[in-house]
Amino acid sequence: MMKLFSFSLLLFAVSALPAAPSWIWLPDRSRSAAFRKTVTLDEEVRSAVFHIACDGRALLYINGKLPFRGTDTPWLNLAVLKVQRYDLGKAFTKGENVFAVTAWPGEHGAGFICKGEIVLKSGRTVTVDSGPSFLAFDRESLRVPGEELWQSRNPSGWNLPGGDFSHWKPAKVLGPAEHPSYRDRVDTAPLRRDDCFSAAPEKQGRLMLDDFSDISSWLGGPRRGHAPAATRPVHFSFGSVPAPERDDGFCGELRFAFREKNGVAAFIKNAVYQTWSRPAAITFAADPAGRDGALSFEFEDKAGKRFRTAELAVSGSGWKNYTLPFDRTTVPEFDRLAFPVAMRSLQFRLREPGNGVIRLDDIAYLADVSNPRKQLEIRSEYRQLAHAPGERVRLGFRVRNALARSVECRFELRVFSPEGELLRRQRASAEIGAASVQMIRFDLDGFSRIAPYRIELAADNGSVRNTFQGWLGVFRPNGRRLNHGPMYFGIEDQEFHTAPYEAGLHVEWMKLLGVDLLRGIFMGGAAQYERGAQTGLEAFAKLWRPHFDAGLELLLDYAADVPPWTISDAKKKNDPNWHRNRMSDLPEMLAEHIADVAKFIAVHPQIRYFEWLNEPDLGGFGGTADEYIASLKLVYPILKQYAPQLKVTTGGMVVTHPYGKPGFTRRVYRECADFYDVAAFHCHDDIETYKRYQAEIEKLAPGKPVANTEAGSRSYQSAPELFFIQAAVLVKKIAYAKSRGSEFYIWFMLQDYWDKYVNADDSFGLVTVDNQPKPSFLAYNELIRRLAGLAPAPAAELDPRLETLRFTGKEREVFVCWPRQDSGNFLFALRSGADVVRTDIFGSSETIRPRNGIAMLTSSALPFYLSAPPGAVSPGIQPLTPRGRRSGIPGGSCRCRFTLTNPLPETACLELAVNGRKLARRLEPGASADLELPLIIPADALPGTVAKIPARLRLGETEQPAELEIAVALPVPPAGTPPHPLRLDSAAQLTELAFDPVTPRWSGPDDLSATIRINHDMKNLLFDIEVRDQEHCTPFDGDRIWKNDSIQVALSPEDGKQVTELTVSGSTRDRAAVWRHRAPDAAQKGSWPIQAEVVRDSGVTRYRFAVPLAETGIPAHSGTRFRLSLLVNDNDGGKRLRLMEFSRGIENDKSPELFGRARLL
């Protein structure tokens, strides 16, 4: 039994802060250096984590051995100056160890730094930080190259324990981690030591974990003492509620329903878990509302050990402050912990049975807050999601000072247009009290343009400057449901895991959007834990009542978790994992349960659809295809018997997921055709993949309606342009689904949830965790307004440069348009007998009045809408048409041909102005004239992109902006000349192939990135490609090596008539493998014996290979233009999970028209 504590005030004895690591080298930074540090350990090692950076390159040894041998060679920072993490636990042993480095200067200087933490078996931590305790020696003074000669001059082994090293000197300390030479070149945050509580008063403070002002929820529920039918969030929840008496207006409300004494509920929140620290105490405020209970906290240390603190009693009524010291008196085996630690859960125990709530607030650590990121926290105040055009905008931000002293802060708010133009700037200042929060407000003039605006608030307290980034939405919300028939516009939320107040806010957001359909999570065990019980089903009815009242209908997603009474005792005994992937093996019991669910559905007609299990071909169902097919055949007739109006869908199939069960999807669609009404699938990929999936399912389930029960796109959380890409993907996928006559579409999901799920990094939501609308929220709002109530119609190509989807109704016709490959802003003409309304993706509209039956419009990079009366619009004569292939290298010129055509019914003067030149032609109606212009490609233009040259076109009395587009070709110089490096290192160049909770998303350039260099020797294209990847996997051979970590290349002459496609990969036979998948001569396909090598070096795989030009049909002479596409595959754990591309045409649509351009110099 743990000791129970009740404290209001404590004094703490705190430990000293360990020295931080320093940058080191020799006094002469132009010389190569060797460093050694002796580390004596009196216990076996549990783990050893080192963070290391080298300005240059270095070899690392532990006890004379290369610790990465067998997986990576030991070069550090071969490509970039960056702090990297290394797990060296297997290299250190009990006794004397030597950490040794030999290092060479870099291009811009020389420096070495490391922060090491060795956790011993007892839990004690030994630190190894670079500094004067490192011994250093000038390698070049020996005048011998190579490691073997180096060691021969040091008989005892310079990198081994023992020996006389008295002639070595302490390393020269260049400065701390934030040294001026490095603070702007490298992120030194991983090098800081903030995991121990400092004795320095100026570094002590209150590190806030949750003040509940974010209007969020903790995940969790009952552990013991509850009624079996009690479920979350109706009976158990923990999340934000308004609390006017608190300093920030919010607190947390923990709801419970215990029927036994000493009932326990536990809750977890990722945003809390991710705050690793070395707390001296845990503090919080509580209003137990007359209840007698206790709180304790479960933690995890950095070695993975879990432990729970002593309990702290809470009782009485009214707010009180509580403090639980974090030391030997409250934490078992405190001296064996490996700091820092993270809070995994908060546990509440109620002494007596009962239902009710307690309130908690300001859960925090007393800890060292010397890390700048912890001193000053900025959170936005939620006021409203939508601001009307022209309406004054009032923005509020809660700024929290973690220090134990007041600080003077200066603030600067900046607001940017979608194009990145700075529109507003306001400054403010305020004094923020010790360990307290201050509301900072700004009053702005309204914005007339409907659009999402990016906002930044910078806060500076004199020593720390932090910046908050968010969004401001100016738009007209739909405010109600507009659509009442297929295709339904749906949304998924996490209402099953969301506390009531936050869930109510989400319902209001759904009303703003005007969505029709909610995909509601339903767990069989929660609904009917005991046979015949109705309490859980009634809880789900209560959970969804606000959604029904808002006019939404429901897709009941029976996600998983059949009741335990439908599973035999034998299965529970023989299958240790039965409780994780629960599936009934008692058909008669499952039938009884489904009958009860069907009766529940029958009395709630708002439940329109029923989905049987989530992603059964992936992991939501633990059985085989045979077992799933049998269960669907059992479930379907029972549902139809009691709820004949209900439409039953298959589980949302992942189709071609890397971890999908082979053949599962095809069998279900084909063999269960009489036992489902709608074929459901999931697709979080791009629009081209979505089209392919939809077409495949339409073939597998002929005559069946198709629906997407889960499909989204990530915005990520850094680059603003990726938020706009998410909005564009949303419009393309949902509009395309509607054009195919889909039954419904569920966007995944309403709000980001990375703050809730442990180790989640999700960014699929339409709303940020700070309750601000992303551009995708505005885009969905406008899409529903434009397409509600319309029917898909046969496509009408308004312009060959546009992808066009057409929808019709009684009074209007709407075209959804976006540019095809290599197109953006351009002029196009339509014939129209009525005004045409052009609306951008977010809802900003302009009316185009035709002149003599011709409407002139401008395209845009993002999707847009054209609206007119039915039948009024048809393709027109395009006034400006490019001719031939237009490409040039960065900084070069290109002679481009264009045709001017008069689309008007009368003679008119057409004038094109570009680069300071004007070319004019007077043309009869329908007449044309050819023009030729030399255009300069900007020197900073990126190969593989399209350079857009601004121009203006005057057509009679009107003048409009235009853009002339030139494909930017990759210059390929002769061997010996430095090539133009291509870099693939951003999320915009990435395609994820797997979207599920068990597959982590791309985590940055270290996870996958590439630098591509191409030369030629007039006989071969010489490829030199470096790929950075955390794991190198090559399990496949033969024609399947493209599934490995590999490089795919596609080439063709400029006319695209002869295509060569090849893959270069490492292999299990320790040599490069090359396979030619496409060739000008089909007989040449197969293994290709060209010069190739694949070498792996410290997280970098280098591919070097030569492609004979004579075998590709590409002429081998200077100035030759050709087409090129290149793709980098990432295989982790034996599965192809993601890829990066230079141009397209290899993945999905294999078309040379999608290849990029290149030119031999």
Q: Which two tokens stand for residue 873?
A: 């619009």
Statement to judge: residues 531 and 661 lie in one domain: yes
d(CA 263, CA 829): 71
Statement to judge: residues 203 and 332 lie in one domain: yes
CATH number at residue 248: 2.60.120.260
777 found inside a domain: no
Statement to judge: residues 91 and 129 lie in one domain: yes
Among 758, 748, 830, CA closest to 796: 830
Cis omega before residue 340 (within 30°)? yes
Residue that terminates a domain, selected from 321, 353, 368: 368
User: What's the number of CA atoms in the CB half-sphere (13 Å) around residue 1060?
Assistant: 25
Buried b (16+ CB within 10 A) or exposed e, 935-944: bebeeebebb
How many domains are there within the chain? 7
Within the chain, how many helices (H) and strands (E) appear?
Answer: 13, 70
d(CA 608, CA 593): 19
pLDDT of residue 689: 85
Residues 6+ apart with CB under 8 A from 729: 686, 687, 713
Q: What is the largest CA-CA distance in the chain?
A: 97
717 found inside a domain: no
The torsion angles phi and psi of 904, rounded to 5 degrees, stand at -85, 155
Among 251, 254, 224, CA closest to 236: 254
pLDDT of residue 201: 66
Measured in whole angstroms, the distance separating CA 941 from the mean position of its chain's CA atoms is 27
Statement to judge: residues 224 and 273 lie in one domain: yes
On the 0-12 / 13-18 / 19+ scale of CB atoms within 10 A, 390 is exposed
Statement to judge: residues 361 and 458 lie in one domain: no
Statement to judge: residues 272 and 187 lie in one domain: no
Alpha carbon of 306 to those of 333, 827, 1035: distances in Å?
A: 11, 63, 36
Name the residue with tokens 């200077």. 1118
Among 190, 154, 198, CA closest to 61: 154
Residue that terminates a domain, selected from 167, 191, 215: 191
Residue that terminates a domain, selected from 368, 403, 433: 368
On the 0-12 / 13-18 / 19+ scale of CB atoms within 10 A, 43 is middle
Sheet with 607-612: list strands edge to edge: 647-649, 607-612, 553-560, 517-523, 488-492, 744-747, 706-711, 679-682
d(CA 501, CA 511): 16
pLDDT of residue 822: 54
Statement to judge: residues 168 and 75 lie in one domain: yes
Q: Dihedral angle at the C-alpha atoms of 721, 724, 725, 730, nearest 10 degrees? A: 170
3 found inside a domain: no
User: Three-state DSSP class for 797?
Assistant: coil
**Could you give the angle at which helices 687-700 and 720-739 cross, rounded to 10 degrees?**
30
On the 0-12 / 13-18 / 19+ scale of CB atoms within 10 A, 685 is buried
722 found inside a domain: no
Cis omega before residue 18 (within 30°)? no
d(CA 566, CA 572): 11
User: Three-state DSSP class for 927?
Assistant: coil
pLDDT of residue 590: 97
7 found inside a domain: no
Q: Which two tokens stand for residue 954?
A: 């005057």
Task: Classify strands 744-747 and 488-492 as parallel, antiparallel or unpaired.
Answer: parallel
734 found inside a domain: no
Residues of the chain with confidence (pLDDT) below 50:
1-18, 69-74, 77-79, 142-155, 194-199, 997-998
CATH number at residue 426: 2.60.40.10
Query: In terms of C-beta distances under 8 Å and separation of at least 24 residues, what long-range contacts does 67-73 make, across chains too?
Result: 67/91, 68/1098, 72/1096, 72/1097, 72/1098, 72/1099, 73/1096, 73/1097, 73/1098
Among 925, 922, 932, CA closest to 902: 925
Task: Classify strands 928-936 and 970-972 as parallel, antiparallel or unpaired.
Answer: unpaired
Cis omega before residue 487 (within 30°)? yes
d(CA 909, CA 902): 8
User: What's the number of CA atoms in the CB half-sphere (13 Å) around residue 919?
Assistant: 15
758 found inside a domain: no
On the 0-12 / 13-18 / 19+ scale of CB atoms within 10 A, 422 is exposed
Q: Dihedral angle at the C-alpha atoms of 1036, 1042, 1043, 1044, nearest 10 degrees? A: 60
pLDDT of residue 996: 53
d(CA 648, CA 666): 18
Cα of first residue to Cα of last residue in the chain, in angstroms, is 79
Statement to judge: residues 298 and 346 lie in one domain: yes
Residue type, 870: P
Structural domain boundaries enclosing 888: 880-968
Measured in whole angstroms, the distance separating CA 673 from the mean position of its chain's CA atoms is 36
Task: Classify strands 706-711 and 679-682 as parallel, antiparallel or unpaired.
Answer: parallel
d(CA 852, CA 341): 73
Statement to judge: residues 638 and 665 lie in one domain: yes
Q: Left (φ > 0), alpha (ψ -120 to 50) or beta: where does 1148 sit?
A: left
pLDDT of residue 397: 96
DSSP-derived secondary structure letter, 381: P
d(CA 638, CA 1003): 45
Rounded to 5°, the CA angle 462-470-490 comes to 160
Statement to judge: residues 889 and 1011 lie in one domain: no
CATH number at residue 572: 3.20.20.80
Statement to judge: residues 560 and 544 lie in one domain: yes
Residues 6+ apart with CB under 8 A from 612: 558, 631, 632, 635, 636, 648, 649, 650, 651, 676
Alpha carbon of 589 to those of 487, 563, 568, 620, 635: distances in Å?
A: 36, 9, 10, 20, 12
d(CA 734, CA 785): 13
CATH number at residue 1091: 2.60.40.1190
Length of the chain (residues): 1161
Contact 125, 119 (CB under 8 A): yes
Buried b (16+ CB within 10 A) or exposed e, 229-267: bbbbbbbbbbbbbebeebbbbbbbbbbbbbeeeebbbbb
Statement to judge: residues 683 and 539 lie in one domain: yes
756 found inside a domain: no
d(CA 560, CA 556): 12
